[in-house]
């Protein structure tokens, strides 16, 4: 089946949010390390609990600010810079892989060559490595049946 897609600035932002989002186990591990470090600072160094709470809140505000403001600005800039993100592309798939093409070029990747995938309500990310992914906007599918047919091949993705 062949579909036409266009990655919007919003799709790029959604993709970057999805890409940066840590899994549940990593988040719990990070919070545990923060708790242990905070306890160490309180117990061994004598840092006041109010100072620890202020540092935690400051870090939380910085974390949220990064995703709410900085990343959105960065995505706008990247979208303007990278012409191939703005171009509509055609993609088709079969049981062995996916082919994507636009006026700048084309390529085919076997499902088994992707190392992982991530999915949100708006986009599917197909990872060629931990740092490089293809964005498939869900708006390219006309209905749930087409999306389901495409998604059925994601089980062949490693990881």
pLDDT, tens only, 1-21: 899 999 999 999 999 999 988
Instruction: Quote the domain boundaries for residue 50.
Output: 21-81
Question: Does any domain span residue 90?
Answer: yes
For 84-131, how does the pLDDT look when each residue is reduced to its tens digit (9 = 90+)? Answer: 999 999 999 999 999 999 999 999 999 999 999 999 999 999 999 999
pLDDT at position 87, please? 96
CA distances (Å), 79 to each of 26, 75, 122, 136, in order? 29, 6, 17, 15
| Cα 12 off chain centre by | 9
Total number of domains in the chain:
2
Q: Are residues 67 and 91 in the same domain?
A: no
d(CA 78, CA 71): 10
In terms of residues, how long is the chain? 159
Q: Are residues 96 and 58 in the same domain?
A: no
| CATH classification at residue 123 | 2.30.29.30
Q: Are residues 72 and 90 in the same domain?
A: no
Question: Does any domain span residue 15?
Answer: no
Q: Are residues 27 and 52 in the same domain?
A: yes
Q: Are residues 31 and 73 in the same domain?
A: yes
For 11-65, how does the pLDDT look when each residue is reduced to its tens digit (9 = 90+)? Answer: 999 999 999 887 778 788 888 888 898 888 988 999 999 999 998 889 888 888 8
pLDDT at position 131, please? 92
Report the predicted TM-score, pTM, of the whole model to 2 decimal places: 0.81
Q: Are residues 72 and 36 in the same domain?
A: yes
Question: Does any domain span residue 31?
Answer: yes
Q: What is the maximum alpha-carbon separation in the chain? A: 64
Q: Are residues 87 and 145 in the same domain?
A: yes
d(CA 151, CA 156): 10
Q: Are residues 106 and 136 in the same domain?
A: yes
pLDDT at position 141, please? 97
What DSSP string runs through 10-78? HHHHHHHHHHHPPPHHHHHHHHHHHHHHHHHIIIII---HHHHHHHHHHHHHHHHHIIIIIHHHHHHHH
Question: Does any domain span residue 50?
Answer: yes
């Amino acid at each position: 089946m062949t579909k036409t897609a266009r990655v919007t600035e919003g799709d790029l932002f959604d993709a970057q949010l999805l890409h940066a989002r840590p899994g549940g186990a990593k988040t719990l591990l990070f919070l545990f390390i923060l708790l242990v470090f905070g306890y160490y600072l309180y117990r061994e160094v004598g840092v006041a609990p109010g100072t620890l709470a202020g540092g935690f809140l400051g870090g939380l505000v910085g974390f949220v600010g990064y995703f709410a403001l900085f990343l959105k600005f960065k995505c706008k800039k990247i979208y303007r810079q990278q012409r191939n993100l703005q171009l509509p592309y055609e993609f088709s798939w079969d049981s062995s892989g996916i082919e994507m093409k636009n006026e700048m070029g084309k390529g085919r990747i076997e499902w088994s060559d992707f190392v992982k995938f991530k999915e949100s309500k708006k986009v599917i990310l197909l990872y060629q490595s931990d740092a490089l992914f293809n964005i498939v906007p869900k708006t390219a599918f006309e209905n749930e049946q087409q999306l389901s047919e495409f998604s059925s091949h994601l089980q062949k993705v490693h990881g």
